[in-house]
Structure 1
Amino acid sequence: MPVEEAQWFAMRDLTRPNAKMPAFRMLSERGFEVFTPMVTKLSVSPAGKKLRLHVPAIHDLLFVHSTAEALDPLVEHTP
C-alpha cells in the first residue's frame, strides 16, 4: 500500500459567522495546517472603543493541508 501524501483540501465551514470556535481555528489547534483568506475589519465595542479584527474574507471557505486519512475521522465526528 503506498503512503498517502498530504494535499490541500478546499472545505466549507458550516458554523455561524459569530461562532466562538470556527473550523479554521479548531483545525489549527488540532495541528492541521490551515489557510483562510483574512481581512481587517473595524468594529465598535459596546464600550464605544474602536477595534481592528482579523476575520475571514469569506466566512465559510478554508483550505486544509493534510491527508484524507487524517482529516476524514475529524470531519465525520464534527457536527
Structure 2
Amino acid sequence: MEVQQTQNTAIEKTEEITESKEELLWYAMRVTYRRELSVKDKLEAEGIECFCPMRYEVQTVGRRKVRSHVPAVHNLLFVRAGEERLKEFKSRVPYLQYMTRPLDGKNRIITVPDRQMAQFMAVASAENDKLIYLIPEEINLAKGTKVRIIGGAFNNVEGIFVKVKGVRSRRVVLLVEGVTAVALTEVSPDLLEVLK
C-alpha cells in the first residue's frame, strides 16, 4: 500500500516537472453550445490559466431588468497551457476545440503571443460598455494607422486607428489575428503616438 502511494507521488512529481518544462502558449479555443463559462470553471479547477472576455448586458427577467455579466464573444475562450496538458484536458472535454486558420496550405492552430494577449486582456477586462467586439473581416485594417495609446485607462496599448462601421468617429482597434478584434472607446488624438 505504501509502495503504491510512493509510486503515485513520484508520478505526480514527474508530471509537474514535465509540465513546468513544457512551453506555455495562449491558445484560441472554440467552446460549442455556449458552454464557455462551465469550461472556464473546469480549467481553473485544474489550475490552467484561461480568459473569457466578458461584458455587462441588461436582460429583462419577468418584469424586471437585470444587469448580467455575460461572455462578450460567444463560444470563445483563450487557454494558456502546454500542448500536452491541453490535449489531455481536451480529451475529457470534447466540446472544447482548437481554432485554426489556413497557413501554407494547411490549417494551423491559432496561438496568441503573450504580449498581445496581455494587451487584449487589459482592454477586455476594462469595465467599459462602449467596447465593440468585431470579427476581423468586419474592418479594413489596411486603411488604418498603427498607433500606441499614451496615458489614460489604455496606456501603452497598441492597435490600429481606423474607421469602424456603424460608428461616427475613428477608433483604436486591438486585433487578435484570426480570432477577434475589439474597438476601444473614442480616444483623444493627443493621446495617440503613431508607430512605424
2:88 is the alignment partner of 1:70: no
Specify the alignment match of 2:22 in structure 1.
Answer: 4
Residue 49 of structure 1, CA deviation = 2.6
Specify the alignment match of 1:43 in structure 2.
Answer: 59
**Aligned match for 1:26, one of 34, 37, 42:** 42
Query: Residue 25 and residue 59 in structure 1: after superposition, are their counterparts in 2 closer, same or farther (change >3 A)?
Result: farther
TM-score, scaled relative to structure 1: 0.76
Specify the alignment match of 2:31 in structure 1.
Answer: 13
Structure 2 gap ranges (5+): 1-20, 95-196
Query: Residue 44 and residue 29 in structure 1: after superposition, are their counterparts in 2 closer, same or farther (change >3 A)?
Result: farther
Residue 22 of structure 1, CA deviation = 3.0
Residue 61 of structure 1, CA deviation = 0.9
Identical-residue share of aligned pairs (%): 36
Alignment of 1:52-67 (within 5 A): 52-67=67-82
TM-score, scaled relative to structure 2: 0.34
TM-align CA RMSD: 2.0
Q: Distance in 2 between matches of 1:44 and 1:29?
A: 32
Higher helix share: 2
Bigger relative CO (Cα 8 Å, ≥ 6 apart): 1
Give the greater-gyration-radius structure (CA).
Answer: 2
Query: Residue 63 and residue 45 in structure 1: after superposition, are their counterparts in 2 closer, same or farther (change >3 A)?
Result: same
Residue 23 of structure 1, CA deviation = 1.9
Q: Distance in 2 between matches of 1:45 and 1:74?
A: 36
Say how many residue pairs are matched.
Answer: 74
